Amino acid sequence: MDLKVQVLLFITPLLVGLGIILTFQSINLSKSNLIFCDVGQGDGILITSGSKQAVVDGGPGEKILECLSSNMPFWDRDLELVIMTHPQRDHMEGLLAVLERYRVKTIVVTGVGNNTGLYKAWEEAVGKEKAQMHIAQAGERFAISRGLSLDVLWPSFAKVTQWQAEPPSDLNETSIVMRLEWGRPSTSSGSARCAYLTGDLPKEHLEPLIDRSCEILKVSHHGSKTGTSKAVLDLAQPKAAIIQVGKNSFGHPHKEVVDLLISKGIKILRNDTDGTIRIGK
Ligand SMILES: [Zn+2]
């Protein structure tokens, strides 16, 4: 067979295959997605909007990497934003692997650390990454793209200042809480879609932050009874509650919380039974 024909026979399927992949990826790139990754017992969230991505927490271990690679274009190694809600293993560990594999533009933290080996490793990883560092404060807005933003609801400036003098005994209290808004409507009568991302914040701090209804509530603290109250659900009026939970010895999610969600007719989605949870455009 002529060499030219052989080359053509070899290259054509490759080009067709590449075309199919690029078409598929560009279809996905036009969408916004909120993805609650199945990272086991911990939180790990990927938010995508067009070609931009934000990661909120990384779960324990490195399972977050599978979630990122299967929901991002294979050529994209840039993350616009990484937010660590608070420095505990089930939120922080996977982010070390994320920093290793991806170039991160901005890293947002609470400004509270601890004395664990894992936290020291985190500080080293952050030191190597040439990202912009930022301590979150209520009132700030991170715009991921034109149609998708994250509003910081907690901690307040007063709390951040107070913790720098004296860190709280319960690190869950330092969890960054945000409201994600996306899909702004073209008419003023419509409203954007939204989701509360609550970290592990205790319910007494969470209640005053909720000032409007949102269709999605990431249930605080893996469904612990310390994170969710009737007041939280009455204020947020979610249609769906996401519980980021895996095999654990804490009894998460607590029966009281599950019963409360059921009594209000809220759809429950949980990573241990539903795997990775994807909420589209
Ligand atoms: Zn946690």
Contact (Cβ atoms closer than 8 angstroms) between residue 80 and residue 53:
yes
pLDDT, tens digit (0-9, with 9 covering 90-100), for 112-127 = 999 999 999 999 999 9
- What single-letter amino acid sits at 224? S
User: pLDDT tens-digit profile of 59-69?
Assistant: 999 999 999 99
The whole-angstrom separation of Cα 157 and Cα 172 is 17
Where exactly are the structural domains of the chain? 31-279
Could you say which DSSP state residue 211 is in? -
Render pLDDT for 73-102 as a digit per residue (tens, 0 to 9).
999 999 999 999 999 999 999 999 999 999
Note the CATH architecture for domain 31-279. Answer: 4-Layer Sandwich (3.60)
Centre of ligand 1 from the C-alpha of residue 60, in Å: 10
The larger pLDDT score, comparing residue 17 to residue 38, is at 38
Sequence-distant (6+) residues with CB within 8 A of 154 are 138, 175, 176, 177, 201, 205, 206, 209
User: What are the residues whose beta carbon lies below 5 Å from ligand 1 (ion)?
Assistant: 90, 200
Q: How far is the CA of 205 from the centre of ligand 1 (A)?
A: 16
CA of 239 to the centre of ligand 1 (A): 23
Residue with the two structure tokens 């409201």? 179
- Provide the whole-model pTM: 0.89
State whether residue 90 is helix, strand or coil: helix
